[in-house]
Amino acid sequence: MSERQLNRRGFIAAGAVALSLGGTVGPARAATPLKVGLLLPLSGSLAREGQSCKRAADVTPALLAELGMPVQLMIADTETNIDTARTRAEKLIAEGAQVLIGAFESAQTLAVAQVCEQRGVPLIINIAAAPNITEQGFKTVFRNFPTAPRLVGEGLSLMKDLFKETGVTPSKAVFMNNNDTFGTAMAGAVGKIFPTLDMPFPIVETISYDGAARDLAVEVGKAKATGADLLILVAHGEDSIKIIREMVKQRFEPKAVVSPGSPGMYEVQFYKTLGKYADYSMTNLPWINPKSKMSQALLAAFAKAYPDALFEMNVGYTFEAVLIAADAAKRAGSTDPKALLDVLPSTNITDHVMIGGAIAFDAKGQNNNTRSATIQNYGGKPRVVLPVEAAEAKPVFPAPGWQQRG
């Protein structure tokens, strides 16, 4: 019974999306499917994230077909390796891919961008934050993802929105970061941007730690000793679990644990391992708009295919990247790469799945309308609490103490 209801809802939502896109659902044209080469790190150190993107790719063609935008996905594994990403991009183009999407990580994406530029094939970036990708004058690169400085800037600014919304401001913060490439880059960005934002609290100490350390007791002890009442955390899956576990044991109870844009605290394993202690942690990052009709249609299809997987940012951005390609093919009336390149700069998709304005690109191929949200864990899943217009619930700040959780 429930499955039938889900299908019906999904169908209705997809229909609504089709109408909102301005397309004519009616008798869909028997268009030639656009061949989309999707490059993802399906194995290697970023395999978890790559697999998350792939789950989105698995449900996307059917949804877009219902909207009269047929696509044929050709998925390739970059193995989280720059050289492999480059060779797989060459191979996909040789096999007939008319547009490439990828590649989750900046260095790999840059390698793919160079291939696309040489071959005159559009590259739509699903996820990759390094600013230089869109600063090199590429004519074939279009990025629907915020740059790292924007990500960090919005991540910090949203904290001010949180304090304003709740009427509570912390007095001082401690910053903890994993010392891997991502964590170090984020720490650098925070160090650079924080002083420019007129934040209402100082960062009293920065604690950089080895994410592969056997335990993080001393790191948490050191953070506690600072007396900070806000923990800003840049972690991954495993280390964020270790840190919260130690915080509970050491009774380190800041007003909140907030990430300015790192994974970890909204992942399935975090909830499974920490249970009630996973609640109230916050992450500021681009997120799926729960109120968008298109995201509801995507969620219905996703939940049916992957009932236990998390519906999160990677899913949303990968879907949107394919949507951008399909929309371009529809507007161009052609699947030829040159025709796609002609229409991609004039992209203007107002109804999509991520929080933010219309998907549109500036002269450098960068979408500047992306917007981060604050998600807060509650009851074993993330909920959007800011911005207010997309919020599913009100933010809880300060968070209840560890011993006060039922």
Question: Which spans of this chain sit near another protein (rule: CB under 8 A)?
Answer: 179, 207-210, 213-219, 221-222, 224-225, 238, 241, 245, 248-251, 273, 277, 402
Whole-number minimum distance, CB 31 to another protein, in Å? 41
Residue closer to another protein (CB basis): 43 or 87: 43
Whole-number minimum distance, CB 62 to another protein, in Å? 30
Residue closer to another protein (CB basis): 179 or 368: 179
69: closest CA among 362, 366, 356, 340?
A: 340
Residue closer to another protein (CB basis): 378 or 402: 402
Residue 49 contacts residue 86 (beta carbons within 8 Å): no
Say how far apart CA 33 and CA 276 lie, in whole Å: 46
Q: Which residues pair with 40 in a beta bridge?
A: 77
Say how far apart CA 241 and CA 239 lie, in whole Å: 5
Task: For residue 218, give every residue at least 6 positions away whose Cβ sits within 8 Å of its Cβ, in sequence order, or none.
Answer: none
Structure token digits, residue 374? 């604050």
Whole-number minimum distance, CB 208 to another protein, in Å? 5
Whole-number minimum distance, CB 218 to another protein, in Å? 4
Residue closer to another protein (CB basis): 157 or 208: 208
Residue 294 contacts residue 20 (beta carbons within 8 Å): yes
338: closest CA among 37, 116, 89?
A: 116
* One-letter identity of residue 282: M
Q: Which residues pair with 282 in a beta bridge?
A: 258, 376
Residue closer to another protein (CB basis): 201 or 402: 402
Residue closer to another protein (CB basis): 157 or 273: 273
Whole-number minimum distance, CB 210 to another protein, in Å? 5
Say how far apart CA 167 and CA 110 lie, in whole Å: 43
First to last CA, the chain: 33
Whole-number minimum distance, CB 29 to another protein, in Å? 45
